[in-house]
Chains A and B, each alone.
Chain A
Amino acid sequence: MYLAQIYVHHKASILDPQGEAVLNALQRLGYDKVDAVKQGKYFEVNIQADSEDEASKVVNDIAKDLLVNHNMESFEFDLKEVAK
């Protein structure tokens, strides 16, 4: 069994108004060292797979089919082997 930790974020070229709103709020709170905020999504997905390659393929497929809007978003992921 593998645990996939999948991070989805806006492509660099896409405006991220939510991240901007959080940045503005932090700066209003006085966190003047905070320079930029990007807001994204995080998924934890358990995958029954026999190998890391197989699990990796499943992650790429589900990202393509559902989790990511490839028009606006990109993603990366980490895989960990976990006990069944």
Chain B
Amino acid sequence: MKFAVISFPGSNCDMDMYYAVRDSLNEDVDLVTSDATNLDGYDGVLIPGGFSYGDYLRSGAVARFAPVMESVKEMAAEGKPVLGVCNGFQILTEANLLPGSLQHNTSMEFISDWSKLRVQNNDTMFTDQYEESEVIDIPIAHGEGNYYCDDETLAQLKANDQIVFTYEDNPNGSCDNIAGVVNEQGNVLGMMPHPERAVESILGGTDGLKLFKSLLNHVRS
């Protein structure tokens, strides 16, 4: 199995994601620059956190036009797994691969902390190693993680079981405590918390590991 971690100018969690796959999952992984024009040969693509293009205009708004995004869209359309974490989530919403938007935290503060998440849907390719309604500890680090969508979109997310993770103690004002959502097809997941920072006990926890293992099982099967 081979994964691609996309490095945009300003990505700063790309190595975290890379090490999570290489050292904790023991799978092949490449860092791929955002100038790349094809992702042939990869089984899944991981879009890491950071401040792509300095968050100019809006978080993720400029990254959406990076050459590699055409290939990311193709992979998403083919049903291959696409995971966006933090700025990766923001990029996926700006690219219209996921519904909703991420706005400033209601507190206006950048929050770097551990957060308790509830697995709302453990029947996805990203979460089937978790128990139903399992509560997990995953770090967050964001200033713009306040998930917003209109009422109609929220109703659709609920009807299709697209809300995958919610916060137990909503840190940022997200509507319905949403921390992560999948697209309707279930192969594109965006989440603000950082599972790649919770894959070894030395990091403070291992609750993120099951996400990567779920993904690996899916790709293998």
Binding site for B on A (CB under 8 A): 14-15, 17-18, 20-21, 66-67, 69, 71-72
Contacts and interface: CB of A to CB of B under 8 A. Distances in A.
A80 B83 CA distance: 45
Contacts of A72: 101, 103, 148
A75 B146 CA distance: 22
B57 A17 contact: no
A14 B147 CA distance: 11
Interface residues of B, number: 18
10 contacts: A15-B173, A17-B173, A66-B61, A67-B57, A71-B100, A71-B101, A71-B148, A71-B150, A72-B101, A72-B103
Given A21-B108, A69-B94, A72-B103, A14 B148 contact: yes
Interface in B138-155: 146, 148-150
Nearest to B153: A71
A69 B101 contact: yes
A17 B107 contact: yes
Q: Give the most central of A14, A21, A71: most B CB within 10 Å.
A: A71
Which 6 interchain pairs have the tightest Cβ spacing? A71-B101, A17-B104, A17-B108, A21-B108, A72-B101, A17-B106
